[in-house]
Amino acid sequence: MMNIHDVRRWHGLAGASFVFFWLYLLFSGLLVNHSDMFGLYKHEIRCSWLSNWYEIPAAEPKEGYDLGKGYLSWDGDRWVLDDVFLSGSTGRPVGAVEAGGINYVATATDLFLYHSDGELFEKREKQFLPGYPILAIGKTGANVVLKTPFGVYVSEDKKNWKKTSVTGITWSYLQDLPAEARARSAEVLAPGVPLQRVIQDIHSGRIFGRYAVWFLDVISLALLGLSISGFWLYWRLR
């Protein structure tokens, strides 16, 4: 039969062994209970392996436009230039080029101008373009060229357009993305998983699989046992 000294020894060993799990449940529980205060509902985690783990369908773009320094791909209104998300994007691109350090993306009715970091700094709507719908975009030298039903127009200052019959235009065309570009685009376009949900599943163990839930249940029962043995020790030694 175990005496009080045996109980104290096993109580101490078990307490030292389970301290990590106790802290794990404590901090994850605090985050779950105070998710509004921490603003967890405002944030999402975008990661392809996490969306695959949750079995959320992810975009896998296979086609795009080559800008020379990277590839433009998209999923709906979300555009990606290699591994950079382009802000303010809307519509389906009909072409994209890089000229003078600026990335130009054309839809049928708008022309978007981006810095290299993906920040939109100007959007030209159809009333400021030489014609629409835009059928194609290209470049000649450092000048951008637009093809419309009314002809081909070139701009030297990014604002004024004039009709041209110049030859040697490099037109942007839709092409298959290389495997590396597809992987980078898929990573950026991965659907977001709410941070609040991830924390809840970490606390319950669901994020680690079905058996992890049972494992944490056993740990919780063990912590309950530590509480009971601690009370018993206190009662015997008081």
**pLDDT tens digits, residue range 126-171?**
888 999 899 999 999 889 999 999 999 999 887 889 999 888 899 9
65: which residues sit within 8 A by CB, 6+ positions away?
71, 72, 93, 95, 96, 172, 173, 174, 175
Q: Which domains does the chain have, with CATH numbers?
A: 4-56+192-237 (no CATH), 63-188 (2.130.10.10)
Q: Which two structure tokens, joined as six digits, stand for 138?
A: 């290209």
**Is the pTM higher than 0.75?**
no
CA–CA dist 136, 171 (Å, integer): 7
Write down the pLDDT at residue 103: 94
Write down the pLDDT at residue 15: 63
Q: What is the C-alpha end-to-end distance of the chain, expressed in Å?
A: 21
Contact 138, 152 (CB under 8 A): no
Low-confidence ranges of the chain (pLDDT < 50): none
Burial of residue 89 (CB within 10 Å: 0-12, 13-18, 19+) is buried
219: which residues sit within 8 A by CB, 6+ positions away?
18, 21, 25
Write down the pLDDT at residue 105: 96
